Structures are given as structure tokens and as C-alpha cells.
């Protein structure tokens, strides 16, 4: 860098060149130089959480009589500007940094101190003022919980509700359409498309309920534990005050952790949340694959539905259209499952009083939340909402389904039913036709007993 491109900053380790236009200082610059690992920086949601924590911490310290009100006000204004995303380009630290996330905490402290100093026209110190009553060891676990909770409440849960609602709307539309059920990918008893889609909606609703249950624990914050959980250098009421202010500002029920030693040394709540995100991913994978199978063909596959045609499907085969949205969703699900494996390994790295894989936990949990939210909306709007049903194909398969003979078990017995099914399959004939030849049941009785729509209601059709 030329003399005009940098300025000299210093920290406890000495002087260092920092880009002239950078709002951060020496400790952030050391991290930039030490960790040229991935090019991945901390997620936007995480930077937002850091800003909110620093603003509420300053205001809480002012309330407690520990920080000058003018300094606290300047810090709060600067920190909320950071939270809003105005200064994201000044947060260059790689995800794969020091395991405590100290570099990201100091990045926030330095940027906010720089902005607050300009506002006040007097020095605001990144450690003494912005980081008052705090340690990276409680700030970063708090930022993980705050960012994850906000992302779930604001993006993922609404997206899952939208997906479930879209599926439920289609389920009502299609409740009178009967299709061949399948177990082991083999023909089984009939179900309505409404019932099939209802199962998908229940998966999504249950996944959201699991997330809400986990978020009750994610809302417990480490702030106030400082370096090792004892709360050294923080006012006894500081942690509860920060949590209360965060709750008031975000409308999410944050609270101080019951045990700061657990909150600093373990990331069990984040691991639990990641596991529930994986469960949602498993549900989306199942739904996406069902849609792909139902759409397959259109001639050599099932061809029961047609997904919206969104783009050409091949660079060499004209006219080919692929199920691109379910494929995208399936890849998202695979990524989330991999992220969960990383979070699980990282969660084991709580050595004594501190977990030392905090940044990678934040990155993976927040990426999973974002991916699932976006994938859920795409699946709802670009696949579920617009697919059409090939009812002729469904009816043809139902008429030739030998498994329909199951409905006669209560009348003719299993053995006789098996013989009818085998013959119907071998001869490629409707089961009703074969049953008429092999039993003394009348046409009217067979029509009633083997009505596919009636069979979707369960019970004992032979006794009806």
C-alpha cells in the first residue's frame, strides 16, 4: 500500500497498517491477515445481532450509572446503524478465525467506536466503552442465539407457514381426486391426493412446532457471564438488563441464561436447533422427491402431475423440461444435513469454560435457516401452487390396480383375494372383472366394495 492507502493503528501488540478508509482498527486488521482462509465473512444476521447487543449493552451500562450517557447514546446510534447493514463492508473477518469469535467482537467494537467518536468529536474506546461489561466469550454466544432466533422468527417460520398453507389449499382442491397409494414404491390401496398432500402439510407444521420448542432455549442468553461465567467486570444486573432491552426491541422473548457457565462452555441449544433444522430439511426432501416421482415421465414415468415448466431442461434434448424446483429443494436439504453434522462436531468443542468453534456454528446454523426459508417459499410458489393433475392417468392406474382386492378380504378372505390379485396382474385385467369370475359377488356388490374413492375413507368396506 502507498502512504495514502493506509493509516497507522496500534493495539496491545504494537503498530499496524490499516486501510485508510476502513472503520475498523488494528485487531480487525490482524485477523484479516491471520485468517485468509475461505473468503466467507460472518453472516449479515450475525452482524445485525452484534450491533443490537452493543447498543443495548451501552444503554444498560448507562442505566446502571457505569457509562456516560452521551457516550452510551453515541455508541447506541452507531451500533444500530451497524445492525441495519449500513457498514457491512467493514466486517471482513473470515468465518474460520479464532474459535471464540474474538476477532468479530473486536471488529464490531472498533467500527462502532470509530463511528461514535466521529459523532461525539471525542474518543470512544472500543474496549473500555463499547465492550464495557462484556467479553467475546459471552458476546459471541449471545450473538449466535440472537441471530438464530431472529432469523427463525422473521424468515423461516413465516416461510414454513406459507408452505404449509399452500399445501393445505391444494389438498382441499384435490380431496376428491383419488390416486394409487404406494408403499415400497409398489402399488398399494388408494388414497386421495388431498390426503397425500395433507401428510406433507402435517410434516411442515410439525417441523415448525419443533423449531418453536427449541427456540425457547435459544432465547436464553449468555450475556453477563463475561470471560468464564463468573460475570467478572460486569454489573450483576447487566445480563438481565441487556436481555430485557433486546426482548423489548425485537419482540422476541430473550432472557438471561439460568447458568452462565453452561451458556459459555456449551452450545447445546444451537446444536438442538440445528437438529430441528435438519428435521425440516428431511421433510422437504421427502416432499420434493414425492413431487419428482409424481411428475416423472411424462411417458415413461408416473406422469400423474405436471409441475410448472420453468426453464428448458436440457442443452441437447429439445423440449425436455425438468423438475428444477424440487431438485433445488433437495440440494438445500442435503446442505442443511451437512451443516448439522458440522454443528454437531463443533458443539463437542466446549473445552472447560468455553466452546472454541463459535463462528462456524453461527455460519452453519444461519445458512441453514436462510436456505430452508428460501427453499420453502420456492417450493410453495413455484411447484406446489401450480402443478396440474393428469386425472385420466390416475383413473387408468386405479382401474388396473390388483391391490384393490384388499377391500374384499373381509368378504372372501386373504387367500382368495391373493389369487384374484395375481390373476388380474398376470392377465393385465381390472380386478373387478377377475373378481366377478372368481367369486359369487354381484356386479353391484363389487362396484360398491371396490370403489376407489370410498376406499380412501378406510374402515371395513366388506361390512358396509
- What is the residue whose three cell numbers read 410458489? 381
Q: 228 with 354: CB under 8 angstroms? A: yes
Average pLDDT over residues 63-78: 98
Q: CA distances (Å), 226 to each of 134, 137, 245, in order?
A: 5, 6, 18
Bigger pLDDT: 425 or 58? 58
For position 459, what pLDDT does the model report?
80
Distance, CA of 175 to CA of 189 (rounded, Å)? 16
Residue 65 scores a pLDDT above 70: yes
pLDDT digits (tens, 9 = 90+) for 434-457: 999 999 999 999 999 999 999 999
State the average pLDDT for the chain.
96
Q: How confident is the model at residue 40 (pLDDT cuts 50, 70, 90)?
A: very high
Strands (E), 257-342: 305-306
Note whether 304 and 394 are within 8 A (CB).
yes
pTM over 0.85: yes
Q: How far is CA 377 from the centre of its chain?
A: 12
For the chain, give the longest Cα–Cα distance: 101
- pLDDT score at 343: 98
**Predicted pLDDT of residue 464:** 44
Q: Does 428 or 49 have the greater pLDDT score?
A: 49
**DSSP characters for 53-116?**
HHHHHHHHHHHTTSS-HHHHHHHHHHHHHHHTTTTGGG---BSSS-TT-HHHHHHHHHHHHHHH
- Report pLDDT for 463: 52
pLDDT at residue 132 tops 70: yes
| C-alpha count within 13 angstroms, C-beta hemisphere, residue 142 | 36
pLDDT of res. 265: 98
pLDDT of residue 462: 52
Please report, rounded to a whole number, the percentage of residues in the chain having pLDDT higher than 70: 98
Tens of pLDDT along 12-29? 999 999 999 999 999 999
CA distance 144 to 81: 19
C-alpha cell at position 71: 457516550
Per residue in 393-427, pLDDT (tens digit) is 999 999 889 999 999 999 999 999 999 999 999 99
Return d(Cα 350, Cα 143) in angstroms, integer: 17
Mean pLDDT within 426-437: 93
172, 330, 378, 389 from 386: Cα distances, Å:
14, 19, 11, 10
CA distance 55 to 74: 9
User: 2: buried, middle or exposed (CB in 10 Å: 19+, 13-18, 0-12)?
Assistant: exposed
| CB neighbour class for 137 (10 Å; exposed up to 12, middle 13-18, buried from 19) | buried
pLDDT above 70 for 2: no
- In this prediction, residues 326-340 reach a mean pLDDT of 98
Helix (H) or strand (E) holding 13: none
Give the pLDDT band (50/70/90) at residue 4: confident
The answer to whether 323 and 295 have CB atoms below 8 angstroms apart is yes
pLDDT surpasses 50 at 264: yes
Write down the H helix ranges in 219-237. none
pLDDT digits (tens, 9 = 90+) for 293-316: 999 999 999 999 999 999 999 999
CA distances for 64 relative to 107, 206, 236, 264, angstroms: 25, 43, 10, 24
Q: Is 329 in contact with 292 (CB distance < 8 Å)?
A: no
DSSP secondary structure letters along 347-405:
HT-EETTEES-HHHHHHHHHHHHHHHHHHHHHHIIIIITT-EE-HHHHHHHHHT-GGGG
The whole-number pLDDT of residue 458 equals 84
Q: Could you read off the pLDDT of 206-235 as tens digits, one per residue? A: 999 999 999 999 999 999 999 999 999 999
Beta strands at 388-389 and 305-306: parallel, antiparallel or unpaired: antiparallel
- Cα angle 144, 149, 150 (rounded to 5 degrees) comes to 105
Mean local confidence (pLDDT), 146-152: 99
Residue % of the chain over a pLDDT of 90: 97
**What SS3 class is residue 257?**
coil
Residues identified as active-site: 184, 314
Residue 210 cell numbers, joined: 419443533
The C-alpha R_g of the chain, in whole angstroms, comes to 30
| Distance from chain centroid for Cα 125 | 37
Amino acid at each position: 500500500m502507498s502512504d495514502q492507502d493506509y493509516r497507522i493503528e496500534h493495539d496491545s501488540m504494537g503498530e499496524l497498517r490499516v486501510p485508510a478508509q476502513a472503520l475498523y482498527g488494528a485487531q480487525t486488521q490482524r485477523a484479516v491477515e491471520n485468517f485468509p482462509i475461505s473468503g466467507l465473512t460472518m453472516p449479515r444476521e450475525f452482524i445485525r445481532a452484534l450491533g443490537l447487543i452493543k447498543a443495548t449493552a451501552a444503554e444498560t451500562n448507562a442505566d446502571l450509572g457505569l457509562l456516560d450517557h452521551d457516550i452510551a447514546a453515541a455508541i447506541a446510534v452507531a451500533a444500530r446503524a451497524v445492525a441495519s447493514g449500513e457498514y457491512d463492508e467493514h466486517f471482513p473477518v473470515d468465518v474460520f478465525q479464532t474459535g471464540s469469535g474474538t476477532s468479530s467482537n473486536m471488529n464490531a467494537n472498533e467500527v462502532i467506536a470509530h463511528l461514535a467518536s466521529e459523532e461525539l468529536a471525542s474518543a470512544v474506546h472500543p474496549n473500555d466503552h463499547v465492550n464495557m461489561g462484556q467479553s467475546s466469550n459471552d458476546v459471541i454466544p449471545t450473538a449466535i442465539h440472537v441471530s438464530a432466533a431472529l432469523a427463525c422468527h422473521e424468515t423461516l417460520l413465516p416461510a414454513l407457514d406459507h408452505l404449509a398453507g399452500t399445501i393445505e389449499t391444494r389438498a382441499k382442491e384435490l380431496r376428491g381426486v383419488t390416486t394409487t397409494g404406494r408403499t415400497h414404491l409398489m402399488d398399494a390401496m388408494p388414497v386421495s391426493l388431498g390426503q397425500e398432500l395433507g401428510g406433507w402439510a402435517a410434516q411442515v407444521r410439525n417441523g415448525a412446532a419443533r423449531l418453536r420448542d427449541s427456540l425457547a432455549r435459544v432465547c436464553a442468553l449468555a450475556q453477563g457471564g463475561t470471560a468464564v461465567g463468573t460475570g467478572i467486570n460486569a454489573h450483576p444486573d447487566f445480563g438481565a438488563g441487556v436481555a430485557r432491552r433486546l426482548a423489548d426491541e425485537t419482540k422476541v422473548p430473550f432472557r438471561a441464561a439460568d447458568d452462565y457457565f453452561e451458556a459459555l462452555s456449551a452450545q447445546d441449544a444451537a446444536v438442538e436447533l440445528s437438529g430441528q433444522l435438519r428435521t425440516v430439511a428431511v421433510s422437504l426432501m421427502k416432499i420434493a422427491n414425492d413431487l419428482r416421482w409424481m411428475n416423472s415421465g411424462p411417458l415413461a414415468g408416473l406422469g400423474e402431475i405436471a409441475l410448472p415448466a420453468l426453464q428448458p431442461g436440457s442443452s441437447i434434448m429439445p423440449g425436455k423440461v425438468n423438475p428444477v424446483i424440487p431438485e433445488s429443494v433437495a440440494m438445500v436439504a442435503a446442505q442443511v444435513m451437512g451443516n448439522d453434522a458440522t454443528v454437531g462436531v463443533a458443539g463437542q468443542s466446549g473445552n472447560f469454560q468455553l466452546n472454541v468453534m463459535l463462528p462456524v456454528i453461527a455460519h452453519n446454523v444461519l445458512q441453514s435457516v436462510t436456505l430452508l426459508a428460501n427453499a420453502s417459499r420456492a417450493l410453495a410458489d413455484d411447484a406446489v401452487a401450480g402443478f396440474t393433475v393428469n386425472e385420466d392417468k390416475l383413473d387408468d392406474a386405479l382401474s388396473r390396480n390388483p391391490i384393490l382386492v384388499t377391500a374384499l378380504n373381509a368378504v372372501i378372505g386373504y387367500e382368495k383375494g391373493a389369487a384374484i390379485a395375481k390373476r388380474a396382474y398376470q392377465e393385465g385385467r381390472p380386478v373387478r372383472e377377475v373378481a366377478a369370475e372368481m367369486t359369487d359377488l354381484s356386479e353391484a356388490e363389487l362396484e360398491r366394495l371396490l370403489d376407489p374413492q370410498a376406499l380412501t375413507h378406510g374402515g371395513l368396506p366388506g361390512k358396509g
